[in-house]
Amino acid sequence: MSELNLILLGPPGAGKGTQAERLQDDFQVPFISTGDMLRANVKGATELGREARNYMDAGELVPDDLIVAMVAERLQEDDAEDGFILDGFPRTIEQAHALDRQLSELSRRVTAVLLIDVPDSDLVRRLSGRRVCVKAGHNYHIEFDPPKHEGVCDQDGSKLIQRDDDKPEVIRNRLRVYHDQTEPLVDYYDEQGVLRKIDGTRDATDVHDHIRAVIATLRLEENV
Ligand code: ADP
Ligand code: ADP
């Protein structure tokens, strides 16, 4: 079976984490979220966590060198040998170059970049209603995907909280940062012929079905 090296691209709140959670059950490849990795470092008060924290709280990007080193190490682990789903990385052209370099040294390449497209007006509503569980970061939305019991994670019973960077003033900055620094990656990957666009405004199940169909097509194309 060929490798499945996938990138989920899209603005904050587009549904990348929600889809990654579902895709993990479909394909036996690890889900690698740089946001989750950074939050674990902040929680564990590691040196990286201390360096990253102020940037994250302000909705700014953590410097490329820190992120690139963190991801390079993660991709070398055995479980990523047959593929991976990257969520939240790359977020700058420099990060994309670093990933290309690392993969090509291993004679690997990006299979596809799935752009989950959602307009800013929807994103503000999604991010301000997002709630995550403290234990594993499972995602909910107070309107669109409420838990069975208010404030409690359906999957592991832990408490649901609002992320500090999901407050309105930080949301606005994150969207600005996305448009300035991350959106150029859309053209970058389009030029490489690996970009696939997904309408992220539909409900999460439709988005998931669409992504699975795209991946099935890619696999057929790779096997011809
Ligand atoms: P990202 O990882 O791209 O920042 P999330 O997956 O955390 O985005 O989704 C942001 C919020 O929007 C969450 O509260 C999630 O429950 C909700 N959400 C995700 N996908 C959809 C969808 N297709 N329709 C409506 N709400 C969604
Ligand atoms: P989102 O809901 O915006 O998809 P993430 O969980 O991916 O949020 O990221 C949260 C924060 O972590 C970002 O605002 C940023 O400060 C930092 N971060 C995550 N991934 C990266 C990255 N690839 N490069 C720089 N900073 C990152």
Residue 57's domain is classified under what CATH number? 3.40.50.300
Would residue 168 count as lying in a domain? no
Could you list the active site residues? Answer: 16, 91, 130, 163, 174
Would residue 145 count as lying in a domain? no
Query: For residue 71, which amino acid is it?
Result: V
Would residue 147 count as lying in a domain? no
pLDDT of residue 200: 98
Chain segment 147-163, per-residue pLDDT in tens: 999 999 999 999 999 99
Return the structure tokens found at 220. Answer: 């057929």
Ligand 2 atom at minimal distance to the Cα of residue 174:
14
Whether residue 38 has its Cβ less than 6 Å from ligand 2: yes
Q: Give the structural domain span for 111.
A: 4-118+182-223
Q: Single out the residue of 119, 135, 128, 121 nearest to residue 163, CA to CA.
A: 128
Would residue 195 count as lying in a domain? yes
Would residue 157 count as lying in a domain? no
The bound ligand whose nearest atom lies closest to the alpha carbon of 20 is: 1
pLDDT of residue 224: 53
pLDDT of residue 86: 97
pLDDT of residue 2: 76
Testing ligand 1's pocket by substitution, the residue of 24, 33, 115, 130 carrying the most ligand atoms inside 8 A of its CB is 130
Would residue 133 count as lying in a domain? no
Would residue 161 count as lying in a domain? no
pLDDT of residue 98: 98
Chain segment 189-200, per-residue pLDDT in tens: 999 999 999 999
> Rounded to whole angstroms, how far apart are CA atoms 68 and 86?
13
Here the contacts of 211-215 (C-beta below 8 Å, separation 24 or greater) are 211/19, 211/23, 211/114, 212/23, 212/26, 214/112, 214/114, 215/4, 215/6, 215/27, 215/112
Would residue 207 count as lying in a domain? yes
Return the structure tokens found at 56. Answer: 């994250």
Residues of the chain below pLDDT 70: 1, 223-224
Q: Single out the residue of 163, 89, 87, 175 nearest to residue 124, CA to CA.
A: 175
Q: How many domains does the chain have?
A: 1
